[in-house]
Structure 1
Amino acid sequence: MSKLPPLRLGVNVDHVATLRNARAGTRPDPVRAALAAIAAGADGITAHLREDRRHIRDQDMARLKAEISKPLNFEMAATEDMLKISLATRPHAVCLVPERRAELTTEGGLDVVGQHNALAPYIARLGDAGIRVSLFISAEPRQIEMAARLRAPVIEIHTGGWCDAVVDGRSARAEAEWQRIVHGARLARSAGLEVHAGHGLDYGTAETIAGLPEIVELNIGYYMIGEAIFVGLGETVRMMRAAMDRGRKAIARAGTA
Protein backbone atom coordinates (compact mmCIF):
# COMPACT_ATOMS: atom_id res chain seq x y z
CA MET A 1 0.00 0.00 0.00
CA SER A 2 1.39 3.47 -0.91
CA LYS A 3 2.24 5.83 1.89
CA LEU A 4 -0.79 7.78 3.11
CA PRO A 5 -0.76 11.57 3.19
CA PRO A 6 -0.56 12.94 6.75
CA LEU A 7 -3.89 13.70 8.39
CA ARG A 8 -4.06 17.33 9.43
CA LEU A 9 -6.03 18.68 12.39
CA GLY A 10 -7.67 22.08 12.11
CA VAL A 11 -8.99 23.45 15.40
CA ASN A 12 -12.05 25.70 15.22
CA VAL A 13 -11.97 28.47 17.86
CA ASP A 14 -15.45 29.89 17.24
CA HIS A 15 -16.86 28.89 20.60
CA VAL A 16 -14.07 30.44 22.60
CA ALA A 17 -15.46 33.65 21.10
CA THR A 18 -19.01 32.51 21.96
CA LEU A 19 -18.00 32.32 25.61
CA ARG A 20 -16.25 35.69 25.45
CA ASN A 21 -19.27 37.35 23.89
CA ALA A 22 -21.58 36.08 26.65
CA ARG A 23 -20.11 38.81 28.87
CA ALA A 24 -19.38 41.28 26.07
CA GLY A 25 -15.76 41.46 27.18
CA THR A 26 -12.35 40.48 25.87
CA ARG A 27 -11.81 37.12 27.60
CA PRO A 28 -11.39 34.30 26.86
CA ASP A 29 -9.40 35.34 23.82
CA PRO A 30 -9.87 33.11 20.72
CA VAL A 31 -6.41 34.09 19.46
CA ARG A 32 -4.84 32.86 22.69
CA ALA A 33 -6.80 29.62 22.25
CA ALA A 34 -5.49 29.31 18.68
CA LEU A 35 -1.90 29.75 19.86
CA ALA A 36 -2.41 27.13 22.57
CA ALA A 37 -3.90 24.68 20.08
CA ILE A 38 -0.96 25.15 17.71
CA ALA A 39 1.53 24.67 20.55
CA ALA A 40 -0.21 21.36 21.35
CA GLY A 41 -0.01 20.07 17.77
CA ALA A 42 -2.82 21.61 15.68
CA ASP A 43 -1.92 21.98 12.01
CA GLY A 44 -4.17 24.96 11.42
CA ILE A 45 -6.93 27.15 12.82
CA THR A 46 -10.48 27.49 11.54
CA ALA A 47 -12.81 30.41 12.33
CA HIS A 48 -16.25 31.25 10.92
CA LEU A 49 -17.03 34.93 10.52
CA ARG A 50 -20.81 34.93 10.48
CA GLU A 51 -22.97 37.70 9.11
CA ASP A 52 -24.39 38.40 12.60
CA ARG A 53 -20.94 38.17 14.29
CA ARG A 54 -22.40 35.87 16.95
CA HIS A 55 -18.96 34.56 17.88
CA ILE A 56 -15.89 35.45 15.77
CA ARG A 57 -15.54 39.16 14.98
CA ASP A 58 -13.68 41.01 12.24
CA GLN A 59 -10.80 41.93 14.52
CA ASP A 60 -10.44 38.29 15.58
CA MET A 61 -9.85 37.32 11.95
CA ALA A 62 -7.27 40.07 11.47
CA ARG A 63 -5.42 39.08 14.65
CA LEU A 64 -5.52 35.37 13.81
CA LYS A 65 -3.94 36.04 10.42
CA ALA A 66 -1.29 38.27 11.98
CA GLU A 67 -0.43 36.23 15.07
CA ILE A 68 -0.67 32.51 14.33
CA SER A 69 2.13 30.55 12.68
CA LYS A 70 -0.09 27.95 11.01
CA PRO A 71 -2.62 28.21 8.15
CA LEU A 72 -5.87 30.09 8.79
CA ASN A 73 -9.05 28.60 7.35
CA PHE A 74 -11.64 31.39 7.02
CA GLU A 75 -15.19 29.97 6.97
CA MET A 76 -17.75 32.28 5.42
CA ALA A 77 -20.94 32.58 3.42
CA ALA A 78 -20.63 33.54 -0.24
CA THR A 79 -21.52 37.23 0.11
CA GLU A 80 -19.85 40.39 -1.19
CA ASP A 81 -19.23 41.62 2.37
CA MET A 82 -17.43 38.42 3.35
CA LEU A 83 -15.50 38.34 0.08
CA LYS A 84 -14.21 41.85 0.74
CA ILE A 85 -13.09 40.91 4.27
CA SER A 86 -11.44 37.68 3.17
CA LEU A 87 -9.54 39.42 0.36
CA ALA A 88 -8.28 41.98 2.86
CA THR A 89 -7.34 39.30 5.41
CA ARG A 90 -5.69 36.94 2.89
CA PRO A 91 -6.07 33.67 4.83
CA HIS A 92 -4.47 30.46 3.60
CA ALA A 93 -7.91 29.07 2.75
CA VAL A 94 -11.57 30.04 2.57
CA CYS A 95 -14.26 27.44 3.18
CA LEU A 96 -17.59 28.52 1.70
CA VAL A 97 -20.47 27.39 3.91
CA PRO A 98 -24.25 27.84 3.93
CA GLU A 99 -25.54 30.24 6.54
CA ARG A 100 -28.93 31.10 8.01
CA ARG A 101 -29.40 33.57 10.86
CA ALA A 102 -31.89 31.33 12.69
CA GLU A 103 -29.67 28.24 12.80
CA LEU A 104 -27.78 27.26 15.95
CA THR A 105 -24.96 25.81 13.87
CA THR A 106 -24.38 24.99 10.21
CA GLU A 107 -27.17 22.54 9.46
CA GLY A 108 -26.07 21.06 6.14
CA GLY A 109 -23.82 21.41 3.17
CA LEU A 110 -23.90 23.96 0.38
CA ASP A 111 -26.23 23.22 -2.49
CA VAL A 112 -23.57 23.68 -5.15
CA VAL A 113 -25.83 22.09 -7.78
CA GLY A 114 -28.56 24.67 -7.28
CA GLN A 115 -26.21 27.60 -6.61
CA HIS A 116 -23.38 26.93 -9.06
CA ASN A 117 -23.90 30.16 -11.00
CA ALA A 118 -23.79 32.21 -7.80
CA LEU A 119 -20.79 30.38 -6.34
CA ALA A 120 -18.60 30.35 -9.45
CA PRO A 121 -17.48 34.02 -9.29
CA TYR A 122 -16.57 33.74 -5.61
CA ILE A 123 -14.47 30.65 -6.24
CA ALA A 124 -12.75 32.38 -9.15
CA ARG A 125 -12.06 35.65 -7.31
CA LEU A 126 -10.68 33.92 -4.24
CA GLY A 127 -8.56 31.62 -6.37
CA ASP A 128 -7.20 34.55 -8.36
CA ALA A 129 -6.11 36.10 -5.05
CA GLY A 130 -4.12 32.98 -4.20
CA ILE A 131 -6.59 31.78 -1.56
CA ARG A 132 -7.38 28.08 -1.53
CA VAL A 133 -11.15 27.50 -1.79
CA SER A 134 -13.02 24.69 -0.09
CA LEU A 135 -16.73 23.91 -0.47
CA PHE A 136 -18.55 22.54 2.58
CA ILE A 137 -20.91 19.94 1.12
CA SER A 138 -22.71 16.73 1.92
CA ALA A 139 -21.26 13.48 0.56
CA GLU A 140 -23.71 13.34 -2.34
CA PRO A 141 -22.43 12.44 -5.81
CA ARG A 142 -24.23 15.32 -7.55
CA GLN A 143 -22.75 17.88 -5.15
CA ILE A 144 -19.26 16.41 -5.41
CA GLU A 145 -19.36 16.30 -9.20
CA MET A 146 -20.50 19.92 -9.36
CA ALA A 147 -17.75 20.97 -6.93
CA ALA A 148 -15.21 19.46 -9.34
CA ARG A 149 -16.83 21.24 -12.31
CA LEU A 150 -16.62 24.54 -10.41
CA ARG A 151 -12.86 23.94 -10.07
CA ALA A 152 -12.78 24.31 -6.32
CA PRO A 153 -9.62 22.44 -5.31
CA VAL A 154 -11.01 21.19 -1.98
CA ILE A 155 -14.26 19.94 -0.49
CA GLU A 156 -15.08 19.46 3.16
CA ILE A 157 -17.59 16.71 3.78
CA HIS A 158 -20.31 17.56 6.28
CA THR A 159 -20.17 14.77 8.88
CA GLY A 160 -22.94 16.06 11.15
CA GLY A 161 -25.64 13.55 10.19
CA TRP A 162 -23.33 10.61 10.78
CA CYS A 163 -22.00 11.96 14.09
CA ASP A 164 -25.49 12.72 15.40
CA ALA A 165 -26.67 9.21 14.54
CA VAL A 166 -23.63 7.68 16.28
CA VAL A 167 -24.21 9.73 19.45
CA ASP A 168 -27.94 8.93 19.48
CA GLY A 169 -27.31 5.20 19.04
CA ARG A 170 -29.21 4.98 15.73
CA SER A 171 -27.03 2.25 14.29
CA ALA A 172 -28.86 1.75 10.98
CA ARG A 173 -28.89 5.49 10.27
CA ALA A 174 -25.27 5.80 11.35
CA GLU A 175 -24.21 3.02 8.99
CA ALA A 176 -26.10 4.54 6.07
CA GLU A 177 -24.55 7.96 6.71
CA TRP A 178 -21.11 6.39 7.09
CA GLN A 179 -21.37 4.60 3.75
CA ARG A 180 -22.33 7.89 2.10
CA ILE A 181 -19.16 9.45 3.49
CA VAL A 182 -17.00 6.50 2.41
CA HIS A 183 -18.31 6.55 -1.16
CA GLY A 184 -18.32 10.33 -1.33
CA ALA A 185 -14.69 10.58 -0.24
CA ARG A 186 -13.66 8.05 -2.88
CA LEU A 187 -15.61 9.83 -5.61
CA ALA A 188 -14.17 13.21 -4.66
CA ARG A 189 -10.61 11.94 -4.64
CA SER A 190 -11.10 10.24 -8.01
CA ALA A 191 -12.35 13.59 -9.37
CA GLY A 192 -9.08 15.22 -8.31
CA LEU A 193 -10.43 17.01 -5.24
CA GLU A 194 -8.62 17.27 -1.94
CA VAL A 195 -10.96 15.91 0.74
CA HIS A 196 -11.49 17.33 4.22
CA ALA A 197 -14.22 16.50 6.75
CA GLY A 198 -15.83 18.13 9.74
CA HIS A 199 -18.86 18.89 11.91
CA GLY A 200 -19.85 17.07 15.08
CA LEU A 201 -16.68 14.97 15.34
CA ASP A 202 -15.50 13.66 18.72
CA TYR A 203 -12.62 11.37 19.68
CA GLY A 204 -14.44 8.23 18.55
CA THR A 205 -15.76 9.47 15.23
CA ALA A 206 -12.48 11.23 14.47
CA GLU A 207 -10.63 7.96 14.98
CA THR A 208 -13.05 6.17 12.68
CA ILE A 209 -12.97 8.71 9.87
CA ALA A 210 -9.17 8.93 10.09
CA GLY A 211 -9.28 5.43 8.63
CA LEU A 212 -10.43 6.80 5.27
CA PRO A 213 -7.25 7.28 3.23
CA GLU A 214 -8.85 9.85 0.92
CA ILE A 215 -9.34 12.35 3.77
CA VAL A 216 -6.36 14.55 4.58
CA GLU A 217 -7.80 17.09 7.05
CA LEU A 218 -10.34 17.17 9.87
CA ASN A 219 -11.74 20.45 11.20
CA ILE A 220 -13.10 20.13 14.74
CA GLY A 221 -14.29 22.78 17.17
CA TYR A 222 -17.31 22.58 19.43
CA TYR A 223 -16.52 19.20 20.97
CA MET A 224 -12.91 20.15 21.64
CA ILE A 225 -13.76 23.45 23.29
CA GLY A 226 -16.25 21.62 25.52
CA GLU A 227 -13.68 18.97 26.48
CA ALA A 228 -11.15 21.71 27.20
CA ILE A 229 -13.27 22.83 30.16
CA PHE A 230 -12.36 19.58 31.89
CA VAL A 231 -8.82 18.80 30.77
CA GLY A 232 -7.50 21.97 29.13
CA LEU A 233 -7.21 22.82 25.46
CA GLY A 234 -3.67 21.55 25.03
CA GLU A 235 -4.55 18.11 26.40
CA THR A 236 -7.71 18.02 24.27
CA VAL A 237 -5.67 18.69 21.12
CA ARG A 238 -3.18 16.00 22.08
CA MET A 239 -5.96 13.48 22.74
CA MET A 240 -7.64 14.30 19.44
CA ARG A 241 -4.35 13.95 17.61
CA ALA A 242 -3.81 10.56 19.29
CA ALA A 243 -7.29 9.39 18.22
CA MET A 244 -6.61 10.45 14.63
CA ASP A 245 -3.23 8.71 14.68
CA ARG A 246 -4.85 5.48 15.88
CA GLY A 247 -7.28 5.63 12.98
CA ARG A 248 -4.52 6.29 10.47
CA LYS A 249 -2.36 3.47 11.83
CA ALA A 250 -5.28 1.07 11.45
CA ILE A 251 -5.15 1.60 7.67
CA ALA A 252 -1.43 0.91 7.59
CA ARG A 253 -1.91 -2.31 9.54
CA ALA A 254 -4.71 -3.39 7.20
CA GLY A 255 -2.51 -2.65 4.20
CA THR A 256 0.26 -4.93 5.45
CA ALA A 257 -1.97 -7.74 6.70
Structure 2
Amino acid sequence: MLRLGVNIDHVATLRNARGTPWPDPMRAAELAQAAGADGITAHLREDRRHIRDEDIDTLMARLTLPLNFEMAATPEMQAIALRHRPHAVCIVPEKREERTTEGGLDVAGQEEALAAFIAPLREAGCRVSLFIGHQPEQIRASARVGAAVVELHTGAYCDLDTEGRHDERDAELQALQQGARLAADLGLEVHAGHGLTFGTVGPIAAIPQLAELNIGHFLIGESVFLGLDGAIREMRRRMDMARA
Protein backbone atom coordinates (compact mmCIF):
# COMPACT_ATOMS: atom_id res chain seq x y z
CA MET A 1 0.00 0.00 0.00
CA LEU A 2 1.21 3.50 -0.82
CA ARG A 3 2.15 5.21 2.45
CA LEU A 4 0.96 8.69 3.43
CA GLY A 5 3.24 10.98 5.38
CA VAL A 6 1.48 14.04 6.83
CA ASN A 7 3.52 17.22 7.12
CA ILE A 8 2.51 19.22 10.22
CA ASP A 9 4.63 22.33 9.54
CA HIS A 10 1.70 24.64 8.98
CA VAL A 11 -0.04 23.74 12.19
CA ALA A 12 3.04 25.37 13.72
CA THR A 13 2.67 28.30 11.29
CA LEU A 14 -0.80 29.00 12.71
CA ARG A 15 0.48 28.69 16.28
CA ASN A 16 3.39 31.04 15.68
CA ALA A 17 1.18 33.68 14.04
CA ARG A 18 -0.38 34.49 17.42
CA GLY A 19 2.43 33.46 19.76
CA THR A 20 0.20 31.01 21.65
CA PRO A 21 0.76 27.33 22.50
CA TRP A 22 -2.00 26.28 20.09
CA PRO A 23 -2.74 24.76 17.71
CA ASP A 24 -0.32 22.11 18.96
CA PRO A 25 1.68 20.25 16.25
CA MET A 26 1.92 17.18 18.48
CA ARG A 27 -1.85 17.00 18.73
CA ALA A 28 -2.02 17.26 14.94
CA ALA A 29 0.42 14.34 14.67
CA GLU A 30 -1.75 12.24 16.98
CA LEU A 31 -4.89 13.08 15.00
CA ALA A 32 -3.08 12.26 11.76
CA GLN A 33 -2.12 8.86 13.11
CA ALA A 34 -5.72 8.14 14.14
CA ALA A 35 -6.89 9.14 10.65
CA GLY A 36 -4.56 6.67 8.93
CA ALA A 37 -1.28 8.50 8.34
CA ASP A 38 1.75 6.21 8.09
CA GLY A 39 4.30 8.81 9.15
CA ILE A 40 4.79 12.41 10.22
CA THR A 41 6.99 14.96 8.44
CA ALA A 42 8.35 18.11 10.08
CA HIS A 43 10.80 20.60 8.56
CA LEU A 44 13.03 22.44 11.01
CA ARG A 45 14.09 25.50 9.05
CA GLU A 46 17.11 27.67 9.82
CA ASP A 47 14.81 30.61 10.66
CA ARG A 48 12.39 28.43 12.71
CA ARG A 49 9.45 30.00 10.87
CA HIS A 50 7.13 27.12 11.78
CA ILE A 51 8.50 23.99 13.46
CA ARG A 52 10.78 24.78 16.40
CA ASP A 53 13.41 22.78 18.25
CA GLU A 54 11.05 22.00 21.10
CA ASP A 55 8.55 20.55 18.60
CA ILE A 56 11.18 18.06 17.43
CA ASP A 57 11.96 17.23 21.07
CA THR A 58 8.27 16.51 21.73
CA LEU A 59 7.75 14.52 18.55
CA MET A 60 10.75 12.32 19.23
CA ALA A 61 9.62 11.73 22.82
CA ARG A 62 5.95 11.00 22.13
CA LEU A 63 5.43 10.06 18.49
CA THR A 64 4.81 6.38 17.75
CA LEU A 65 4.77 6.82 13.95
CA PRO A 66 8.06 7.20 12.03
CA LEU A 67 9.30 10.81 11.95
CA ASN A 68 10.61 12.18 8.66
CA PHE A 69 12.86 15.07 9.72
CA GLU A 70 13.28 17.55 6.86
CA MET A 71 16.33 19.78 7.05
CA ALA A 72 18.96 21.66 5.09
CA ALA A 73 22.46 20.23 4.72
CA THR A 74 24.05 22.40 7.42
CA PRO A 75 26.26 21.47 10.39
CA GLU A 76 23.60 22.75 12.80
CA MET A 77 20.89 20.52 11.37
CA GLN A 78 23.20 17.54 11.12
CA ALA A 79 24.00 17.88 14.83
CA ILE A 80 20.28 18.02 15.71
CA ALA A 81 19.54 14.94 13.60
CA LEU A 82 22.44 13.02 15.14
CA ARG A 83 21.22 13.89 18.62
CA HIS A 84 17.65 12.72 17.95
CA ARG A 85 18.27 9.97 15.37
CA PRO A 86 14.83 10.12 13.72
CA HIS A 87 13.62 7.29 11.51
CA ALA A 88 14.30 9.33 8.37
CA VAL A 89 16.18 12.48 7.44
CA CYS A 90 15.13 14.25 4.24
CA ILE A 91 17.65 16.79 2.99
CA VAL A 92 16.04 19.70 1.17
CA PRO A 93 17.33 22.91 -0.42
CA GLU A 94 16.55 25.94 1.70
CA LYS A 95 16.63 29.69 1.11
CA ARG A 96 15.63 32.13 3.82
CA GLU A 97 13.66 34.36 1.43
CA GLU A 98 11.52 31.60 -0.14
CA ARG A 99 7.92 31.00 0.90
CA THR A 100 8.29 27.26 0.52
CA THR A 101 10.81 24.88 -1.00
CA GLU A 102 11.12 26.05 -4.59
CA GLY A 103 12.83 23.11 -6.26
CA GLY A 104 14.91 20.02 -5.85
CA LEU A 105 18.34 19.69 -4.32
CA ASP A 106 21.29 19.96 -6.73
CA VAL A 107 22.87 16.65 -5.81
CA ALA A 108 24.92 16.39 -9.01
CA GLY A 109 26.57 19.75 -8.30
CA GLN A 110 27.72 18.85 -4.79
CA GLU A 111 28.24 15.10 -4.74
CA GLU A 112 31.39 15.05 -2.63
CA ALA A 113 30.01 17.37 0.05
CA LEU A 114 26.68 15.54 0.27
CA ALA A 115 28.31 12.12 0.47
CA ALA A 116 30.38 13.33 3.44
CA PHE A 117 27.31 14.94 5.03
CA ILE A 118 25.17 11.84 4.65
CA ALA A 119 27.70 9.30 5.94
CA PRO A 120 27.37 10.01 9.71
CA LEU A 121 23.57 10.11 9.43
CA ARG A 122 23.57 6.67 7.84
CA GLU A 123 25.94 5.40 10.52
CA ALA A 124 23.52 6.70 13.17
CA GLY A 125 20.74 4.57 11.68
CA CYS A 126 18.76 7.28 9.86
CA ARG A 127 17.30 6.56 6.44
CA VAL A 128 18.55 9.43 4.32
CA SER A 129 16.27 10.87 1.66
CA LEU A 130 17.08 13.58 -0.87
CA PHE A 131 14.37 15.93 -2.15
CA ILE A 132 15.12 16.26 -5.85
CA GLY A 133 13.69 16.96 -9.28
CA HIS A 134 13.11 14.21 -11.81
CA GLN A 135 16.23 14.92 -13.87
CA PRO A 136 18.18 11.69 -14.52
CA GLU A 137 21.50 13.26 -13.50
CA GLN A 138 20.08 14.18 -10.07
CA ILE A 139 18.66 10.69 -9.56
CA ARG A 140 21.91 8.97 -10.52
CA ALA A 141 23.90 11.32 -8.30
CA SER A 142 21.56 10.55 -5.38
CA ALA A 143 22.35 6.86 -5.72
CA ARG A 144 26.09 7.57 -5.85
CA VAL A 145 26.17 9.68 -2.66
CA GLY A 146 24.56 6.98 -0.56
CA ALA A 147 20.92 8.04 -0.19
CA ALA A 148 18.41 5.30 0.56
CA VAL A 149 15.45 7.32 -0.73
CA VAL A 150 14.67 10.07 -3.21
CA GLU A 151 11.58 12.24 -2.89
CA LEU A 152 10.53 13.63 -6.26
CA HIS A 153 9.34 17.24 -6.27
CA THR A 154 5.76 17.39 -7.60
CA GLY A 155 5.38 21.16 -7.27
CA ALA A 156 5.75 21.97 -10.96
CA TYR A 157 3.19 19.33 -11.91
CA CYS A 158 0.68 20.75 -9.42
CA ASP A 159 1.30 24.36 -10.47
CA LEU A 160 0.77 23.52 -14.15
CA ASP A 161 -2.50 21.79 -13.28
CA THR A 162 -3.70 24.80 -11.28
CA GLU A 163 -2.82 27.14 -14.16
CA GLY A 164 -4.71 25.00 -16.68
CA ARG A 165 -1.57 24.28 -18.75
CA HIS A 166 -2.57 20.70 -19.33
CA ASP A 167 -0.15 19.75 -22.11
CA GLU A 168 2.80 20.91 -20.01
CA ARG A 169 1.29 19.24 -16.93
CA ASP A 170 1.05 15.93 -18.78
CA ALA A 171 4.67 16.22 -19.94
CA GLU A 172 5.75 16.90 -16.35
CA LEU A 173 3.80 13.86 -15.16
CA GLN A 174 5.53 11.72 -17.78
CA ALA A 175 8.92 13.01 -16.62
CA LEU A 176 8.03 12.13 -13.02
CA GLN A 177 6.99 8.64 -14.12
CA GLN A 178 10.29 8.17 -15.94
CA GLY A 179 12.23 9.50 -12.97
CA ALA A 180 10.48 7.10 -10.61
CA ARG A 181 11.33 4.16 -12.87
CA LEU A 182 14.98 5.17 -13.07
CA ALA A 183 15.27 5.65 -9.31
CA ALA A 184 13.71 2.26 -8.62
CA ASP A 185 16.01 0.62 -11.16
CA LEU A 186 18.98 2.11 -9.27
CA GLY A 187 17.77 0.55 -6.01
CA LEU A 188 16.39 3.72 -4.45
CA GLU A 189 13.09 3.85 -2.60
CA VAL A 190 10.94 6.47 -4.31
CA HIS A 191 8.72 9.03 -2.57
CA ALA A 192 7.01 12.14 -3.93
CA GLY A 193 5.48 15.32 -2.61
CA HIS A 194 4.94 19.08 -2.71
CA GLY A 195 1.73 20.88 -3.61
CA LEU A 196 -0.45 17.77 -3.91
CA THR A 197 -4.22 18.23 -3.54
CA PHE A 198 -7.32 16.08 -3.87
CA GLY A 199 -7.38 17.03 -7.55
CA THR A 200 -3.75 16.26 -8.37
CA VAL A 201 -2.90 13.30 -6.15
CA GLY A 202 -4.46 10.57 -8.31
CA PRO A 203 -2.03 10.45 -11.25
CA ILE A 204 0.94 10.72 -8.88
CA ALA A 205 -0.36 8.01 -6.54
CA ALA A 206 -0.82 5.75 -9.56
CA ILE A 207 2.92 5.71 -10.32
CA PRO A 208 3.71 2.12 -9.34
CA GLN A 209 7.28 2.71 -8.14
CA LEU A 210 6.22 5.19 -5.46
CA ALA A 211 6.28 3.94 -1.87
CA GLU A 212 5.20 7.13 -0.08
CA LEU A 213 3.62 10.54 -0.59
CA ASN A 214 4.31 13.42 1.79
CA ILE A 215 1.52 16.01 1.90
CA GLY A 216 1.09 18.93 4.26
CA HIS A 217 -0.11 22.42 3.33
CA PHE A 218 -3.22 21.32 1.45
CA LEU A 219 -4.29 18.96 4.23
CA ILE A 220 -3.87 21.59 6.93
CA GLY A 221 -5.79 24.12 4.81
CA GLU A 222 -8.56 21.67 3.96
CA SER A 223 -8.93 20.78 7.64
CA VAL A 224 -10.60 24.19 8.12
CA PHE A 225 -13.55 22.76 6.18
CA LEU A 226 -13.38 19.00 6.77
CA GLY A 227 -11.44 18.70 9.99
CA LEU A 228 -7.97 17.18 9.96
CA ASP A 229 -9.38 13.67 10.32
CA GLY A 230 -11.72 14.16 7.37
CA ALA A 231 -9.07 15.73 5.14
CA ILE A 232 -6.57 12.93 5.77
CA ARG A 233 -9.13 10.19 5.31
CA GLU A 234 -10.26 11.68 2.00
CA MET A 235 -6.66 11.96 0.78
CA ARG A 236 -6.03 8.37 1.85
CA ARG A 237 -9.17 7.28 -0.04
CA ARG A 238 -8.07 9.00 -3.24
CA MET A 239 -4.57 7.51 -2.99
CA ASP A 240 -6.01 4.03 -2.55
CA MET A 241 -8.43 4.50 -5.47
CA ALA A 242 -5.54 5.53 -7.71
CA ARG A 243 -3.61 2.40 -6.76
CA ALA A 244 -6.65 0.17 -7.20
The residue number in structure 1 matching 2:175 is 180
**Does the 8 Å CA contact 1:204/1:243 hold for their aligned counterparts?**
no
Q: Provide the rounded CA distance (Å) in 2 between the counterparts of 1:229 and 1:143.
A: 37
- TM-score scaled by length of structure 1: 0.94
Q: Provide the rounded CA distance (Å) in 1 between the counterparts of 2:29 and 2:237.
A: 19
Selected match of 2:142 from 138, 147, 150: 147
The residue number in structure 2 matching 1:13 is 8
Q: Give the superposition deviation at 1:118.
A: 1.5
Q: Provide the rounded CA distance (Å) in 1 between the counterparts of 2:117 and 2:201.
A: 30
User: Pairwise mapping of residues 110-129 of structure 1 onto structure 2 (< 5 A)?
Assistant: 110-129=105-124
- Secondary structure of the residue aligned to 1:203 is coil
Q: Give the superposition deviation at 1:210.
A: 1.2
Selected match of 2:190 from 192, 195, 199: 195
Amino acid at match of 1:92: H
The residue number in structure 1 matching 2:238 is 243
1:86-117 Cα shifts (integer Å, max 9, x gaps): 11111100000000000000000000010112
- Secondary structure of the residue aligned to 1:233 is helix
2:41 matches 1:46: yes
User: Pairwise mapping of residues 1-257 of structure 1 onto structure 2 (< 5 A)?
Assistant: 6-249=1-244
The residue number in structure 2 matching 1:3 is none
1:121-160 Cα shifts (integer Å, max 9, x gaps): 1211100000000000000000000001112110000000
**Does the 8 Å CA contact 2:106/2:132 hold for their aligned counterparts?**
yes
Q: Provide the rounded CA distance (Å) in 1 between the counterparts of 2:10 and 2:168.
A: 28
Structure 1 residues 107-116 or 205-214, which shifts more? 205-214
Q: Give the superposition deviation at 1:204.
A: 2.3
Structure 1 runs (4+) greater than 2 angstroms displaced: none
**Does the 8 Å CA contact 1:95/1:135 hold for their aligned counterparts?**
yes
Q: Provide the rounded CA distance (Å) in 2 between the counterparts of 1:145 and 1:24.
A: 44
Amino acid at match of 1:246: M
- Secondary structure of the residue aligned to 1:56 is coil
- Secondary structure of the residue aligned to 2:191 is strand
% identity of equivalent residues: 61
Amino acid at match of 1:42: A
User: How many residues in Structure 1 have an aligned counterpart in Structure 2?
Assistant: 244
**Does the 8 Å CA contact 2:112/2:145 hold for their aligned counterparts?**
no
Q: Give the superposition deviation at 1:39.
A: 0.6
Amino acid at match of 1:199: H
Amino acid at match of 1:62: D
- Secondary structure of the residue aligned to 1:10 is strand
Q: Provide the rounded CA distance (Å) in 2 between the counterparts of 1:138 and 1:158.
A: 5
**Does the 8 Å CA contact 2:5/2:40 hold for their aligned counterparts?**
yes
Name stretches of at least 5 consecutive residues in structure 1 with no aligned partner.
Answer: 1-5, 250-257
Amino acid at match of 1:222: H
Q: Give the superposition deviation at 1:66.
A: 1.2
Q: Give the superposition deviation at 1:179.
A: 1.0
